[in-house]
Structure 1
Amino acid sequence: MRGFLQRISILLGLLVGPLAAIPLAEVDLHALSSLPVFELPHPFAFGAPRFEAASIISMLVVMVVSMTESTADMIALGEVVERPVDLNAGSNAIIVAVSLAFGIFPIAFPGFYHAFPEQVATVLSSGISAGWLLAITLNLLFNHLGKGREVPQA
């Protein structure tokens, strides 16, 4: 039970906090009455994107460092578990490439996750979780659910 409460403590705080604030008249929902129930986002609400050379070059450096670090981590992890990484397998290269692409989202588009709830945005904006969630999904899709793949017996 203790582990369960630790895992849902943030959710409980999200529920209990506003409920406790209602009797204290600290909750003001009047602004919500003028908003539509559903609304599509407005693209380029802050103007057209600008591409500046200094930003592009600094992001390229960050990406090279990030890719090098991720590759080294995967190779080291493969050695620790005594299953070396096979970078020649086509599906493994796709998994790494797509995971890196999604992992860089928080760095390239810092405002992307602001539409999510605060706790989700905090987790996803780290970039680590976005990359590993996609890596796990693609790994399951390509390596475990794909045709002709046999799972090695431990």
Structure 2
Amino acid sequence: MDGIHPALESHFAKYRKQVPALALTCHLADGGRGPVSVTAMVRALAWADYLKSHALRAYGTGMTAPMDRARALLEKIRAGKLPSLPFALKKIYDACWSMLTNREEAAEAVSILIEHGYMAEVAERNNASKGGRPREPRYVINPEVTK
């Protein structure tokens, strides 16, 4: 299967045995004798589709690529969900957007967008020189992105 994560591919490979086993179970549960009925096979295939949707969701949480996070953030930027003023990383993960729910995920996405020119880190004066706590980096959106 092209473009599918190896773990998911391995999971779906097991369906070659699972679907016939489900069909036989359905056939026997319906009181069938002899060859497995078409109805039982159709029911097994429907179960496999149902289980596939759950597998995609379950495996998907751990298989999000860094570029997927960057695309998700870029969609939010284009939708006007972030300010044009300099903002902290916290602004992104506090919104709890899909794939951007914590500091690490947000930092990963921002790093990629900076690398591709969609955002920039802004050098702001911090309070460290006055004995204060260093300020977290601030980011701005490239104005060309929202045009």
**Is the TM value for this pair above 0.5?**
no
TM-score class normalised by the smaller sequence: under 0.3
TM-score in terms of structure 1 length: 0.26
Higher strand share: 2
Q: Which structure has more RCO (C-alpha within 8 Å, separation ≥ 6)?
A: 2
TM-score in terms of structure 2 length: 0.27
Higher helix share: 1
